[in-house]
Amino acid sequence: MKKIAVITSGGDSPGMNAAIRAAVRVALAQGVEVWGIRNGYAGMIADDMIRLDSRSVGDIIQKGGTFLGTARSEEFKTLTGRQKAAENLHSRGIEGLIVTGGDGSLTGAKLLSELGIKFVGLPGTIDNDIWGTDFTIGFDTAVNTALDAINKLRDTASSHGRVILVEVMGRHCGWIALTAGLAGGAEIILVPEEPFNQEDISKKLLESRAKGKQYSIIVVAEGAGSALELGQYIRANSGLETRVSVLGHIQRGGAPTAFDRLLASRLAETAVRALMAGKTDIMIGFRNNQCVEVPIADAVGKKKEIDPELYRLADVLSK
């Protein structure tokens, strides 16, 4: 394989730049020409590609987001759109692709490979919901951003004796809430995977006050329910003073942590080597401190559940 392209697609996540940088430099070291596709599959269809050399990926390892841009493309979901995209790659002689993105982006790559483009995927999403990998690129940074907010909110919760509800990202999965909540010593963690009852939460908070807790932190994954509504309910039903903080998109940005930079670099190197070895339709995952090849059909279309052991531990430690 003489020419490959790199692409970031779907929701951005910190560490995507580190993945691009590593993929480009590993490929160049093997004498392979590398192209960068701008703005995800939309850019692939629009033929928006730039030739990348080693210098073009300098000064990005420390930056969040993706310097190539990312986008969502409805057109790519159609066969005609994918045919146009594949034609643009073929006409440049690009035979292989390194795709960093979430479940949707990897599904798209799988369909593109049916048109003769080999690909190796990298799990890039802050949600950590991709099957076949212990961690996704960007998750650790997002958790640390949420944790930083929890630490700060804890100070003010403590000073005023309040209940603070922190809403974090996670529409379908509670990995960020569970991990940041556990690390931040939250009293209650609400995730989409575990339904809850507002009345029980309110009672639990009153019980903990009776046991001497002066304040409480509740971490709510956005998919578990609205922190704002829960805060109002708690205030109305328990008389406790509540404040709500919705973190939103700050969790998607920021300088990637050391963990995410290393993860991205290691996964990307393995991905390029696999592509060079003629492999396709796989994702490189990270399991037990090793980079592993995961058949794409196993990785997409199913969600990685939160770790019940972590959930149990968070509960034990919140007493």
What residue ranges bind ligand ADP (CB under 6 A)?
Answer: 9-11, 41, 72-73, 76-77, 101-105, 107-108, 111, 125
Angstrom distance (rounded) from CA 107 to CA 119: 11
Angstrom distance (rounded) from CA 143 to CA 136: 12
Q: For ligand ADP, which is the closer residue by CB, 9 or 133?
A: 9
Q: For ligand ADP, which is the closer residue by CB, 129 or 187?
A: 129
Task: List residues with catalytic annotation.
Answer: 127
Q: For ligand ADP, which is the closer residue by CB, 10 or 231?
A: 10
* Cα torsion through 115, 120, 125, 127, rounded to 10: 100
**Shortest distance (Å) from residue 76 CB to ligand ADP:** 4
**Shortest distance (Å) from residue 75 CB to ligand ADP:** 8
**Shortest distance (Å) from residue 115 CB to ligand ADP:** 12
Q: For ligand ADP, which is the closer residue by CB, 111 or 313?
A: 111
Cβ contacts of 146-149, under 8 Å, gap ≥ 24: 146/176, 146/177, 146/180, 146/184, 146/219, 146/247, 146/251, 147/180, 147/183, 147/184, 149/245, 149/247, 149/250
Instruction: Please say whether the beta carbons of 306 and 174 come within 8 A.
Output: yes
Residues with Cβ within 8 Å of 139's Cβ and at least 6 positions away in sequence, in order, are 13, 125, 126, 127, 128, 175, 176, 179, 260
Angstrom distance (rounded) from CA 319 to CA 43: 51
**Shortest distance (Å) from residue 91 CB to ligand ADP:** 20
**Shortest distance (Å) from residue 280 CB to ligand ADP:** 17
Which residues partner with 51 through β-bridges? 35
User: In 3-state terms, what secondary structure has residue 194?
Assistant: coil
Q: For ligand ADP, which is the closer residue by CB, 13 or 144?
A: 13
